[in-house]
Every structure is written in C-alpha cells, then in structure tokens.
Amino acid sequence: MHERRFRPSQMHRLEDPDRLAWLPPAEVLAHLSLQPGYTVADIGAGTGYFTLPIASAVGSAGRVLAVDVSPEMLDRLRARLAEAGLSSVDCVEAEASATTFPAGSCDVALLANVWHEFDDHAAVLDEVRRILRPLGRIALLDWRPDVERHHGPPLEHRIAPDVAAASLTRAGFRLAQPLVLLPYSWLLIGAKEPSRPA
C-alpha cells in the first residue's frame, strides 16, 4: 500500500457526521442526474458514503456496483447495507483498473476522493470507458489543491482539476458540464464519446 492510499484503520473518518456539512452527498449526486433503474459503479466505495444514497436514487430496479481494494472497507459497507435493508448493491474487491464488471454494463461511474491515489490514471479511465454504456458518464470528485489542508490528504498529493480534465479528454471523454467547486473538493463530469472504441 503506497502512502497516497487511504488506510482502512482510518475508516471511522469516512463516517464522521461533520463530513455531511462540507461534502453533502445529495449536492454531489444532483450533478450525476441519476435515474431509477440505472446501474452505477462506485469505484473506491470505501464504507459507502456515496454508495447508500446512490442505491436510494436508483431504486430497487437499479444496481450499484461498489468496488474497493480493501476487504475491511467492504465488510463495513456490507454491514451498513444490511442495517439499511438495501439489497441492490454488489460489493466487489478489486482495483479501479480491473473492476471485473462486464463491458457496457454501467450508466454512470463515480470515483470519489480516490483520483489522487491512482498511479496509472490512463488505465483507470480505460477501464471506466470499458464498463460504461454508450453515452455513459464518469464523475470524478477529488480534493482541491488550492485550499488549506483542513480535511483530506496532503496538498502535494492532490491533483488540479484542469490536469484531471486533460486526462479525461485524452481517454475519450468530453466534459459534460462546467467544473463544480465544493469547499474542499472539485467535481468533473465526463461523457463517453461514442466515436471512440471502448
């Protein structure tokens, strides 16, 4: 495990109630335009900060594919899903660059607060393109490098949104809406370009 990867021993921080004030899931998910029946990949799902509200948004007809490299995180997520009575989430232990999901199986892929952890952004984006349906969308949410480090990783680990946007464009995505700035985070939405092979 490299130094940029979030450690399971710190998972309690992911469920800190104060986090709801400065990173409200509803505000982030509003930009994803989720619909009942959608299949959403939550890549780097952790303990389910976004997984559970996504499951509510897509409803019983939808599906959430929650992938994380940490079995400890996924165990906690499964417990939370059981407590909430949600059965529309599949938890998968895998790398972001090799999710094991079928090609063309997802309407939306969310990568929340994990972009700065990846060594090979191109490989991750190739995998996201593979699993997205035609015109599917990717949402990248990560830490702003232009704010004081009150929350999140060290500033030197953070990636500027224009650098991430360039990576999206190179990988065959077009920016589907303007950059969204939150108190400590930025959000980019990309749409899969149908003219480029998966």
If you compute the radius of gyration of the chain from its CA atoms, what whole number of angstroms results?
15
Q: How far apart are CA 106 and CA 128, in angstroms?
A: 9
* Mean pLDDT, residues 18-24: 82
CA distances from 38 to 13, 14, 58, 153 (A): 29, 25, 6, 31
First vs last C-alpha separation in the chain: 30
pLDDT, mean of residues 20-29: 90
Please report the pLDDT score of residue 5 as a whole number: 61
User: Is the pTM above the cut of 0.75?
Assistant: yes
Q: What is the pLDDT of residue 191?
A: 97
In sequence order, the β-bridge partners of residue 43 are 67, 111
| Residue 61, pLDDT score | 96
Count other Cβ atoms within 10 Å, centred on residue 148: 8
Instruction: Quote the CA–CA distance of 6 and 196 in Å, as a whole number.
Output: 33
Question: What value does the mean pLDDT of the chain take?
Answer: 91
1, 52, 106, 125, 140 from 165: Cα distances, Å? 26, 27, 21, 12, 9
Joined together, the tokens standing for residue 11 give 């998972």
Domains and CATH numbers, the chain: 35-192 (3.40.50.150)
Q: What percent of the chain has pLDDT over 70?
A: 89
Q: To 5 degrees, how large is the angle CA 117–CA 130–CA 29?
A: 60
Residue 20: band (very low, low, confident or very high) from pLDDT cuts 50, 70, 90: confident
d(CA 20, CA 116) in angstroms, rounded, equals 21
Residue 90: Cβ within 10 Å count: 13
Look at residue 4 in the predicted model and tell me its pLDDT. Answer: 54
Under 8 Å between Cβ of 124 and 111? yes
Could you tell me the pLDDT band of residue 1, with boundaries at 50, 70 and 90?
Answer: very low
Backbone angles phi, psi at 103, to 5 degrees: -65, 140
The reported pLDDT for the residue numbered 9 is 57
- 81: number of CA atoms within 13 Å, CB side? 24
For the chain, helix (H) and strand (E) counts, in that order, are 6, 8
